[in-house]
Structure 1
Amino acid sequence: MPPTDDSKSKKRLVFDASLIVRVHTWLAYTAFASALCIGCLLHYKKIVKNGVAGYPQEWFPSVSATIGDWYPERNIFQVLIALTAGPRFALVTLLYYLQRSQDSSLPTVVFISGLIRTISCGGWVYITSSDDHDVHDVLMITYIVCDLPWMLGGIVCTQNTDVRRKRRMIATGFFASIAPLIYFFVQHKVHRVPGAYTRYAFFEWALIILDVLYDSVAEQDLREADLQISLGPSLHSGARIEPMVTSEPKMVSTSAETLKEKPLVPPPPPLLFDLSALAQHMPILSFVSDLYLSYIFWSLFTSLIPTLFYFSVWELGIAGQELALLATLSPAFLAVPSVLSWVRSRGGSSALQLLSLSGLAAYALSSPLHRFFVVTFANIIAVMGQVVIWAGLTDGNSVGYQSIITALGLMTSSLSKHVNHSNNPVWPLINESSGGYNKTGLVIAVLALCELSGRPVEQSSSEASKDAKKGNTDSDNTAKEHWLVGALPLGSLVFSLHSLLSDPSTLIVWSWTGYENSAPRGPMPHLHGSITLIAQSLGLFIAFTMLSLSPTSINYLSHPVWFIFGLASSYIMLQGRDWIGYLGGLGVAVFTMAVIPIVFQRAALTSLTAQTYSMAFLVYCLLVLASVWTVAYAFVPGGPFLRERTDLVVLAQMACLSLAFQWPGAVPRTLAIEVPVRLRNYARTTLALICVVALFVSQYRRPSISPVPYKSGPRIFNAGIWTVHFGMDNTGRDSQRLIRNVVRDLELDIIGLLETDLHRVVYGNRDLTRVIVEELGYYVDLGPGPNFHTWGAALLSKFPIISSKHHLLPSPRGELAPAIEAVLDVFGTEVTVVVSHNGQEEDPLDRELQSRELARIMAAAHPRPVIFLGYVVTKPHAKEPAPYEIMVRDGQVHDIDKDDQDRWCEYIFYRNLYRTAYARVSRGIVTDTELQIGQFALPKHGFGVVNETEEARYLRAFKEELPQRHWFPMAYYGDQSKGGVNGHYYHVFGTPLYYKIPKDAVL
């Protein structure tokens, strides 16, 4: 109560705390309203205009344009919003004073989010989109993200029923406005629809109004609490906040009686129905549920980076969405005791896993941006819940049990990709038309969660098992591990599993070098991927064997000798080629899977769960970025330092992982990992099933007959070149089947695909050629692998590949350029086909050197017929040092049509063949680049081209003048508005170009 001394009370200023909220509300609304009114009066047409359209299509300004672009509205707004800062900080502090509780940390979380929210508001207000678009967007996204705990947490912490109801209604309106906001932004930004930005602006202003309105409700909260602020001299100097009415206490009682009556974590009801009785009689059901939920985690986890890097690929640089990688750092939230307590409870764990399923359901969203937001949110939830499980903090689960389940979940995910053409069937970037089984996956996941929620808690039967579950060890070694010793190996392990073992063919393409004597030099991805899964099974079986001897026998795998085996295998994988390199990769698979229990246990031994697992995933993030930087160095800051240095990335992996081993001279540390016998039996059975299914799939995929050309009678064939943008179509989904349809319809016997090196975490460790090879029947050469640091090139052929050679074209400054030089058996005649992807426009020296090397390769094949299918950044007929003249002149080849002046990057050259047709096919939604195709007639065996004069080569014809077998498909005639097939049609000329065959040609 205030002091009763009249002299002092007269000198003190006392006012209701609710007045601060009112001042904040009026200042905020006045700031935005003044900017809108002044802007419309002075610069109306300027602030409604955007990069797509202006007035009258766009007729209402966005918030950003209103407050950030023009004088004087920008300056008036910034002055008023600056005056709002003081009341805003006071509002946040007053609400914390009102809501704080001794038995809950949630008010603290709300308070911290309120502070971050306020600071980020100042950031996007004073750094406008015209100042720095990326910084403005990051701060704006931070503000919106902080609105989640601020609003939702504030609702939970509100005790006044009427105030809680108002906050709930406003928050519902706020979050409901976000979906249409994103939709119209995509319509404006991606589809460039005139008028969409005006509709976007309505929802943007709605967010502002609702945001301020939500904070204004605090006025009623503070007024009914009768809080007053007194300024001036008192018993204690400074400002005081005094509750004048104490009949309704705000502090929550924490007496022993209250704790007994109300448990801290009440047991949750089953999600749908109780399966506990069934689980008691069928323990295998619990194992299967845990295994499937682990599979779902890995599916979500491995889908995050391909989802976010879709935007980087289209920008060819940093797009901003890369910040979503930090979603994996969500274990930092576990530093809040109340959050950790809730997450480790049965109800909390089940709730998080249920929320994470939103990432699987994101497949139903058509917009890549919408899927990106949902998948990012799902990974925040999934990773935070998973690390608590990994740490053995949930009921009835030991660290040893979870390490085995996690390993099996990864292998199940890898097997599902092996079965499903290298795509995980429940990924959100896959749908039914691209090979997804999303609905089935979701239904099974819900059933597994039902089993988990109704499962009885298993109690440990001995003190030793309790110690193992908690991460303790023997008597002399009960001290906790330093959290860095647990974090660094775990981060490296997660990256190793993701980058090398999340798809069974990744290790194969690391060593792939092509063909020799009509046979592949090494293993084939679609045929030998099962061997990788067998090697992984062997590694996990070794861990089982050790665990079967005794809980401490696993320590044999922490001996330096085992680490040396892993290090030597990594070196062979990195430096070896063909079967030798693959054997090194198999050694890495065995080594990595065997140490999973050790690494998990060391991480669980630390007492700082949040620090340990946050650091682990920070290490994972850094290794991911480093692995991307090795090839994307031309587009990222600091890229040249990691250019082509995959060896440094592997070395960093092994260095971090080495901390999990017991080195001479170090303090002895004996790990005790107890795994139930029942689990070991189930796991062995699961491994056996994985191996059997993998071998069956490989045998099933093995072609029963050799590929045959589409027109096996006449000596004619079709060839094409297509830059397929990393196997993601314009909607962010896998494009294998879309590519397959076009290749099949156009009857392409030979096709070069560019930007195909997808065996990286950023592209999902996929194989773009799998569907075409397995369903249409082609020989395939994948080109240089991930350890050669190119964007990739692939050759698909209906004709046998006699031999092939991979080239890294000279690239002293820019990105590395891959090339495939292959000799094909075309109707009994050897034909050289060259597929390449040259460097970008920014590096003219690279392009010149690369062109000279390609010209040398083609000239060296003389007099053998040659077809060049490639991406060459040049204009037609550009003089030296531009690539065009160098390649045509020095390579001794002809342009497929010299009169086509509209090309820029894709070219087809040929020699010692008759070119009979040429067409350019629009891209549809598959990629950002058209498909170019040509038809060639091969002279009869033993004969050559009889007339190569320009006049003979350009005897143009109508298709009716040629036999029908020379015609390209009629279905692809049309234009953008009608005709064609799925958006593909003959464009530029509106028709294929046809050429007569000289009369004296011998075919």
Structure 2
Amino acid sequence: MAPQPAVSTSTTRSRIVFDASHVARVHTWLAFAAFTSALGVGCLLHYKKIVKNGVAGYPEEWFPSVSATIGDWYPERNIFQILIALTAGPRFALVLLQYYIQRSSASSLPTVVFIFGLIRTISCGGWVYITSSDDHDVHDFFMIAYIVCNIPWMLGGIACTPIQSTGVRRKRRAIAIAFFGSIVPLVYFFIQHKVHRVPGAYTHYSFFEWSLIFLDVFFDSVAEAEFKDAQLELAIGPSLSSNVYTDQIQPKELDMALKPLVQATLEPPSQETPASPQPHVIKPHPSHRTLLLISLWTTVQPHVSFISDVYLSYIFWSIFTSLIPTLFYFSVWELGIAGQELALLTTLSPILLSIPPLLSWARSRGGQTTLHLLSFSGIAAYALQKPLHRLFVVAVANIFLAIRQAAEWSGVTDGPGVAYQSTVTAIGLLVSSLSKHANHSNNPIWPLVNEASGGFNKSGLALALLALYEYHNRKSQSIKCNAETPAVKPQSANKPEISAVEHWLATALPLGSLLFCLHGLLSDSSTLIAWSWTGYENNAPRGPMPHLHGSLTLITQALGLLIPQILISISPSAINALSHPLWFGYGTAGAYVMLTYRNWIGYAGGLNFAVFLMSIIPTLFQRAALTSTVGRTYFTAMLVYCLLSLASVWTVAYAFVPGGVYLRERTDLVVLAQMVCFAPAFAWPRLRPRTLSMDLPASAKSGARTFLALISVSSVLVTMYRWPSIPPKPFNSGPRLLRTGIWTLHFGMDNVGRDSQRLVRNVIRDLELDVVGFLETDLHRVVYGNRDLTRVIVEEMGYYVDLGPGPNSHTWGAVLLSKFPIINSTHHLLPSPRGELAPAIEAILDVYGTEVTVVVAHNGQEEDPLDRELQSKELARIMSASYPRPVIFLGYVVTKPHATRPNPYEIMVTDGQVHDIDKDDKDRWCEYIFYRGLYRTSYARVSRGIVTDTELQVGQFVLPKHGSSVADESEAARYLRSFKEDLPREQWLPMEYYGSGVNGHFYHVFGTPLYYKIPEGAML
């Protein structure tokens, strides 16, 4: 027998061993002490200060919020931060110990929970030590990250709780239900406080905010019982293991070998105690750390790969959806076919996959990497200054993009299966929509945005390169499906013959329709809302609002994609339930309700249609992959996508395209065509597509569900974060001033093809406009990027917004923004027997307690005189019907000043019983401001800069005293011209816009605003 090694005296000292449950107990008491001490000290020293908020103070508000308690005042903030710092050590130890108990070679979920536990802990330090007064955005970022990480931490913790710990699982489940259930009333009272500004609502909000804090601590405290059930002990000191480690350590001994390296031993209870344990000197092996890193990377790699694939899918949707807005910029300027529309044909490039060598290369790892890299030029295109150059690069990028995606969707030989790819593609769409929801309806890596217009192009490109690097270097088949339907499946002798492959046309039509529906309806969270929006009634919106309820769309999409995930978990063949004709009927019913109804009912129909679309993504992608002609199948699918995209444009742009008359105002035909194209994918009695069998690896299943949960919660948190921080109120409320404007915004693209929201915001802010009419604003179409032109202004400046008739009303769009409450609004489609439909918004505003009617309208073009005459008569009727209520008309009217009938000018002024804002301004053609029942004090024309092709007109009015009317409406009284120096300073328009102005905007035509005196005897 070999001699025993000498025992070092240093190893004979005793180890410190204690129950690991003490770690959880210390964490619980420190956390409770931190929050309760801050609450107690704050109430004793600064009670009225910490209960006060932007709406009310004591006594309406009588209980403080968490943020006010822990972050605003000395000494409670400092006491809290010290105690939370002491909590950090036990918190990290708790996360590590919980992972040690729950880890399993059969599941990667404990690793996911462990990672989110670490991120959650670090995020806690972020919002604790960076208060909202230090940096509001950073504080909110860490707070949101903490709340989001609570989802996988709590749900994953419940799922990973050992089976024998039934009491622990029951406690965690009850606390998690209470935690997530408290979020609903929390959001409700937050809305009451932030939007409706109800005194006392923030106190009720604070109750639920504190309950979330304590429920969070209670959830972590359950780990104490879990550690006790496992009899887990924590030992510090030399190891007493009886094993003697040599230089050749076997993998199964890795866990024991690593313990002395960290000088701490986490030992679960042993079933047998050695009779004569002998201490030995452990000789660490140099490969221990390497083995540990390899082991950790092997565990984490599938999740990293999944995240990379989702991000690359997000890149696909970003570049793919940017092509049509980039090319349609030229169509808008030409108001017709400009020629650049041919760039849409670049999406037909999958036809090249009919060449076998190209298909083989495109399916290889190197081919996929090369095509990815070439398509990234679509992101880098933002750096080009000229719109034509950007279009060329984006079009070329889409050639490579479409080839790569078709090869990937059809079954990449060196990678995961189609079920996996379809799931990743769907999640990428959700991430793209979420990024728009968080970025004022603009995708932050589109080429039509840059740093000045809300873009994060450089960051997006850098992350894309990192994701591509991971993809290129990952282990082959690192993510593999357990079961996947092969392209050719042998049939048994006792079963009827089934076609070995799907018919290319029967799979291409549904896939093309699906791509169009996903792009046209679900690439932005507010598009379905725009379809159902009809305005206000009794001081409240009749239906959902884009900037407030868009998160519901994202949550519904996530639920729709969760359906096939659940079916796959039940059985690989259960996915065929989504091919049943009844499911097609469900989708058709949702589309019908979405098209036919408005407000909440119409939106509910759209949400059900969204569930249908997201749920059938895996089956449609799988069937398309079972065809034997890849090039022809995906070429046809892209062709269907292109034709439906064009058809959706022609329903409103029929006056400017050949053959447009056949689709004039026929969105119903486009929706019908979509559903007809879907039909071949379903198992009709005489058309039975082959039975599918799908499965996903465990890492992909858990990753998909985690992503869906994170996207759903993030959408709600983004909505709360983007909630208008400034309550709507007029800029100058003292003298009863009302400053209005009208601007045709050319579909939200400036003269160099960039998003113009921030440029518009700056002008509106500088001119201090209380009521603004925007025209050419219906951007919820594929050609405009499914955007919302009002988001920046509404969310950053505080306006009530009425979007006007939606995309299914076939107009160019109109928007009303108001600092005053909108009591009621009506959307009108003006008579248009020959030309384009003209929208109008008739709104009643509560202006300093007086009802004022504001009309925003966009008349037809000069090519259709009959339309303009009929539209003018209808607008005159609307204004006349509101007499004697004050009226302001802000509109686009193609006419010369003082033009007689049948021209619009005389019809609207005479029949509408209104006055021109300045009859002597004879240099106008399309924009006009009319009024009645108010005192006009100023009129200005502001040059367009690079924002659009039309100037901004501004009219300023003073409202008569409540209950009285204008004393003298004669022409002499209305045209008492004045210098600004003779008027109160608050009636001056901004001085910065004299001369060269600001960013290309200046007072032009007159070189100054025109000012008018208020006649004597006016009651103000």
For normalisation by structure 1, the TM-score amounts to 0.71
Answer yes or no: is the 8 Å Cα contact 1:417–1:425 preserved in 2. Answer: yes
Question: Aligned pair in 2 of structure 1 residues 749, 472: CA closer, same or farther (>3 Å)?
Answer: farther
* Partners of 1:858 and 1:708 in 2: CA distance: 26
- Of the candidates 379, 384, 406, which is equivalent to residue 360 of structure 1? 379
Question: Aligned pair in 2 of structure 1 residues 581, 471: CA closer, same or farther (>3 Å)?
Answer: farther
Supply the AA of the counterpart residue of 1:962.
Answer: L
1:52 corresponds in structure 2 to none
1:624 corresponds in structure 2 to 645
Question: Aligned pair in 2 of structure 1 residues 928, 705: CA closer, same or farther (>3 Å)?
Answer: closer
Answer yes or no: is the 8 Å Cα contact 1:302–1:498 preserved in 2. Answer: yes
* Partners of 1:537 and 1:701 in 2: CA distance: 21
1:558 corresponds in structure 2 to 579
* Partners of 2:349 and 2:480 in 1: CA distance: 34
What are the residue-to-residue correspondences of 1:253-292 with 2, within 5 Å? Answer: 278=297, 281-292=300-311
Supply the AA of the counterpart residue of 1:551.
Answer: P
Q: Could you report, residue by residue, the CA deviation over 1:932-954 in whole angstroms, capped at 9, with x for unpaired residues? A: 00100000001100011101100
Supply the AA of the counterpart residue of 1:665.
Answer: R
Kindly indicate whether residue 927 of structure 2 is the aligned counterpart of residue 927 of structure 1. Answer: no
Kindly indicate whether residue 668 of structure 2 is the aligned counterpart of residue 647 of structure 1. Answer: yes
Kindly indicate whether residue 849 of structure 2 is the aligned counterpart of residue 828 of structure 1. Answer: yes
What are the residue-to-residue correspondences of 1:398-413 with 2, within 5 Å? Answer: 398-413=417-432
* Partners of 1:659 and 1:903 in 2: CA distance: 56
Kindly indicate whether residue 1001 of structure 2 is the aligned counterpart of residue 980 of structure 1. Answer: no
2:370 corresponds in structure 1 to 351
1:332 corresponds in structure 2 to 351
* Partners of 1:941 and 1:820 in 2: CA distance: 25
SS of match in other structure, 1:997: coil
SS of match in other structure, 1:935: strand
Kindly indicate whether residue 1014 of structure 2 is the aligned counterpart of residue 997 of structure 1. Answer: yes
Kindly indicate whether residue 610 of structure 2 is the aligned counterpart of residue 596 of structure 1. Answer: no
* Partners of 1:473 and 1:839 in 2: CA distance: 63
1:583 corresponds in structure 2 to 604
- Of the candidates 398, 404, 410, which is equivalent to residue 385 of structure 1? 404
SS of match in other structure, 1:383: helix
* Partners of 1:822 and 1:621 in 2: CA distance: 38
Answer yes or no: is the 8 Å Cα contact 2:534–2:542 preserved in 1. Answer: yes
Supply the AA of the counterpart residue of 1:848.
Answer: E
Question: Aligned pair in 2 of structure 1 residues 498, 837: CA closer, same or farther (>3 Å)?
Answer: same
Answer yes or no: is the 8 Å Cα contact 1:854–1:891 preserved in 2. Answer: yes
- Of the candidates 971, 977, 988, which is equivalent to residue 967 of structure 1? 988
1:708 corresponds in structure 2 to 729
SS of match in other structure, 2:432: helix
The alignment's C-alpha RMSD in Å is 1.6
Q: Could you report, residue by residue, the CA deviation over 1:432-485 in whole angstroms, capped at 9, with x for unpaired residues? A: 0000000000000000000001011117989x73x5264758755461111001
Supply the AA of the counterpart residue of 2:429.
Answer: L
1:760 corresponds in structure 2 to 781
2:341 corresponds in structure 1 to 322
- Of the candidates 422, 436, 457, which is equivalent to residue 438 of structure 1? 457
Q: Could you report, residue by residue, the CA deviation over 1:81-119 in whole angstroms, capped at 9, with x for unpaired residues? A: xxxxxxxxxxxxxxxxxxxxxxxxxxxxxxxxxxxxxxx
Superposed displacement of residue 396, structure 1: 2.2
Answer yes or no: is the 8 Å Cα contact 2:415–2:479 preserved in 1. Answer: yes
Q: Could you report, residue by residue, the CA deviation over 1:684-704 in whole angstroms, capped at 9, with x for unpaired residues? A: 000000001001111223346
Superposed displacement of residue 337, structure 1: 1.5
Answer yes or no: is the 8 Å Cα contact 2:846–2:852 preserved in 1. Answer: yes
1:805 corresponds in structure 2 to 826
2:922 corresponds in structure 1 to 901
Supply the AA of the counterpart residue of 1:423.
Answer: N
1:615 corresponds in structure 2 to 636
What are the residue-to-residue correspondences of 1:165-314 with 2, within 5 Å? Answer: 278=297, 281-314=300-333
1:958 corresponds in structure 2 to 979
Answer yes or no: is the 8 Å Cα contact 1:279–1:455 preserved in 2. Answer: no
* Partners of 2:816 and 2:480 in 1: CA distance: 60
Could you tell me which runs of 5 or more consecutive residues in structure 2 were left unpaired when the two chains were aligned: 1-292
SS of match in other structure, 1:968: coil
Question: Aligned pair in 2 of structure 1 residues 725, 645: CA closer, same or farther (>3 Å)?
Answer: same
Question: Aligned pair in 2 of structure 1 residues 297, 645: CA closer, same or farther (>3 Å)?
Answer: same
Kindly indicate whether residue 360 of structure 2 is the aligned counterpart of residue 341 of structure 1. Answer: yes
1:46 corresponds in structure 2 to none
* Partners of 2:505 and 2:1007 in 1: CA distance: 64
* Partners of 1:505 and 1:330 in 2: CA distance: 31
- Of the candidates 508, 522, 529, which is equivalent to residue 508 of structure 1? 529
* Partners of 2:294 and 2:853 in 1: CA distance: 64
Supply the AA of the counterpart residue of 2:911.
Answer: D
Kindly indicate whether residue 701 of structure 2 is the aligned counterpart of residue 684 of structure 1. Answer: no
Superposed displacement of residue 796, structure 1: 0.1
Question: Aligned pair in 2 of structure 1 residues 411, 474: CA closer, same or farther (>3 Å)?
Answer: farther
* Partners of 1:818 and 1:758 in 2: CA distance: 14
Supply the AA of the counterpart residue of 1:709.
Answer: P
Kindly indicate whether residue 492 of structure 2 is the aligned counterpart of residue 483 of structure 1. Answer: no
Could you tell me which runs of 5 or more consecutive residues in structure 1 were left unpaired when the two chains were aligned: 1-273
- Of the candidates 771, 776, 792, which is equivalent to residue 797 of structure 2? 776
Question: Aligned pair in 2 of structure 1 residues 460, 775: CA closer, same or farther (>3 Å)?
Answer: closer
Question: Aligned pair in 2 of structure 1 residues 632, 279: CA closer, same or farther (>3 Å)?
Answer: farther
Give the stretch that moved more between structures: 792-801 or 384-393.
384-393
Supply the AA of the counterpart residue of 2:324.
Answer: I
Q: Could you report, residue by residue, the CA deviation over 1:549-588 in whole angstroms, capped at 9, with x for unpaired residues? A: 1111100010000000000000000001100000000000
Answer yes or no: is the 8 Å Cα contact 2:502–2:690 preserved in 1. Answer: no
Answer yes or no: is the 8 Å Cα contact 1:393–1:470 preserved in 2. Answer: no
SS of match in other structure, 2:448: coil
Supply the AA of the counterpart residue of 2:435.
Answer: S
SS of match in other structure, 1:468: coil
* Partners of 1:584 and 1:460 in 2: CA distance: 37
Kindly indicate whether residue 427 of structure 2 is the aligned counterpart of residue 416 of structure 1. Answer: no
What are the residue-to-residue correspondences of 1:527-566 with 2, within 5 Å? Answer: 527-566=548-587
1:454 corresponds in structure 2 to 473
Supply the AA of the counterpart residue of 2:319.
Answer: L
Question: Aligned pair in 2 of structure 1 residues 515, 651: CA closer, same or farther (>3 Å)?
Answer: same
* Partners of 2:691 and 2:917 in 1: CA distance: 70
Superposed displacement of residue 707, structure 1: 0.5
Kindly indicate whether residue 693 of structure 2 is the aligned counterpart of residue 672 of structure 1. Answer: yes
2:907 corresponds in structure 1 to 886
- Of the candidates 711, 714, 717, which is equivalent to residue 693 of structure 1? 714
* Partners of 1:469 and 1:937 in 2: CA distance: 75
Q: Report % sequence identity.
A: 70
* Partners of 1:332 and 1:461 in 2: CA distance: 28
SS of match in other structure, 1:920: strand
* Partners of 2:960 and 2:490 in 1: CA distance: 77
* Partners of 2:998 and 2:388 in 1: CA distance: 27
What are the residue-to-residue correspondences of 1:836-855 with 2, within 5 Å? Answer: 836-855=857-876
Question: Aligned pair in 2 of structure 1 residues 778, 279: CA closer, same or farther (>3 Å)?
Answer: farther
Question: Aligned pair in 2 of structure 1 residues 320, 914: CA closer, same or farther (>3 Å)?
Answer: same
Answer yes or no: is the 8 Å Cα contact 1:472–1:672 preserved in 2. Answer: no
Superposed displacement of residue 649, structure 1: 0.3
Superposed displacement of residue 278, structure 1: 4.4
Q: How many residues align?
A: 724
SS of match in other structure, 1:989: coil
For normalisation by structure 2, the TM-score amounts to 0.70
Supply the AA of the counterpart residue of 2:641.
Answer: Y
* Partners of 1:703 and 1:794 in 2: CA distance: 18
Supply the AA of the counterpart residue of 1:685.
Answer: T
